[in-house]
């Protein structure tokens, strides 16, 4: 791209700003920053990061979390995990909002958004709840960047690990405790185990208990679960 065009773009940005230049020329914020080649303030950094997360030019998966943007420019972190806090067949689904420099702020607000406990086998939601405002933190760090490479390095080496650590060591243990308290309120002590028992009872009632064992398994008598009889399937031994 010619120096003449770069100078035109830079002069236009200097005169009317990045937002109006983008509208006028139809050039992305990322491309404008590349052409102008000037220091990137936090307000422009927000727009550039949103573009590159949405276009998947930046990493959108980190330690099992999927990172994505909404239509209104919010960055979400979402995952389904098994931490061992609950029974083996229970999956925990958590969503967190972590938008760099959101709404003109010089920091990154991070807030818990949604949590669910799901039975892995049946897909049934055991309990779910959203944010009540209790889990909100700020990540305060840099407010400007030398260039695009500097900004993208900050995203990969600071933003990603910092948000992940905040979710796993700060938010999640407290949210899990809230989940346990809600289960106790709803089902009484050991509420989660009682709920799983009910779900399994429903499943066993709806399922033909005399069905054949899975491929590679053979029946060795019957066994009882919650007062019902069903095949005791064990893995076949190789001869």
- Domain for residue 179, yes or no? yes
Q: Is residue 27 part of a domain?
A: no
Residue 230 sits in the same domain as residue 173: no
Q: Could you list the pLDDT tens digit for every one of the 239 residues in the chain?
A: 688 899 999 999 999 999 999 999 999 999 999 999 999 999 999 999 999 999 999 999 999 999 999 999 999 999 999 988 888 888 999 999 999 999 999 999 999 999 999 998 899 999 999 998 889 999 999 999 999 999 999 999 999 999 999 999 999 999 999 999 888 887 766 555 555 556 555 555 544 444 566 667 777 776 665 455 566 776 677 65
Domain that holds residue 144: 58-187
- Please count the structural domains in the chain: 2
CB atoms within 10 A of CB 179: 22
pLDDT at 134: 87
Per-residue confidence (pLDDT) for residue 210, from 0 to 100: 47
In this structure, are 71 and 105 located in the same domain?
yes
What are the residues whose beta carbons fall under 8 Å from the beta carbon of 152, sequence distance 6 or more?
Answer: 52, 58
Same domain membership, residue 139 and residue 98: yes
Q: Do both 135 and 220 map to the same domain?
A: no
For the chain, the straight-line distance linking the first and the last C-alpha, in angstroms and rounded, comes to: 71
Please tell me whether residues 105 and 154 are part of one structural domain.
Answer: yes
Same domain, 67 and 171: yes
- Sign, CA dihedral 76-82-87-88, equals positive
Same domain membership, residue 222 and residue 176 = no
Q: Match 């309990």 to its residue by tokens.
A: 127
* 173 and 224 both lie in a single domain: no
Say what the pLDDT of residue 209 is: 47
52 belongs to a structural domain = no
Q: Would you state the structure tokens that stand for residue 13, as one six-digit string?
A: 């940005």
**Predicted TM-score (pTM) of this structure:** 0.77
**Closest to 62 measured CA to CA, from 72, 71, 53, 49:** 53
- Given this model, what pLDDT does residue 218 score? 74
166 and 237 belong to one structural domain: no
Q: What is the pLDDT of residue 202?
A: 59
Q: Are residues 96 and 171 in the same domain?
A: yes
pLDDT the model gives residue 183:
83
């Amino acid at each position: 791209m010619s120096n003449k065009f770069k100078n035109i773009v830079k002069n236009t940005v200097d005169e009317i700003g990045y937002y109006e230049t983008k509208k006028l020329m139809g050039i992305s914020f990322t491309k404008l920053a590349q052409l102008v080649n000037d220091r990137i303030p936090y307000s422009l950094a927000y727009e550039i990061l949103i573009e590159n997360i949405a276009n998947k030019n930046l990493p959108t998966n980190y330690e099992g979390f999927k990172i994505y943007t909404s239509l209104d420019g919010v960055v979400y972190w979402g995952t389904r995990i098994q931490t061992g806090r609950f029974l083996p067949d229970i999956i925990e689904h958590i969503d967190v909002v972590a938008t760099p420099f959101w709404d003109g702020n010089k920091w990154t607000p991070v807030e818990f958004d949604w949590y669910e406990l799901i039975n892995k086998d049946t897909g049934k939601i055991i309990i779910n709840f959203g944010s009540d405002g209790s889990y909100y933190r700020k990540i305060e760090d840099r407010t400007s960047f030398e260039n695009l490479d500097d900004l993208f390095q900050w995203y990969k080496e600071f933003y990603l690990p910092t948000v992940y650590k905040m979710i796993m060591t700060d938010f999640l243990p407290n949210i899990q405790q809230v989940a346990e308290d809600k289960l106790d309120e709803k089902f009484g002590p050991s509420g989660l185990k009682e709920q799983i028992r009910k779900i399994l009872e429903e499943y066993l009632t709806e399922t033909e208990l005399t069905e054949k064992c899975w491929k590679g398994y053979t029946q060795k008598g019957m066994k009882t679960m919650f007062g019902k009889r069903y095949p005791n399937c064990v893995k076949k031994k190789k001869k």
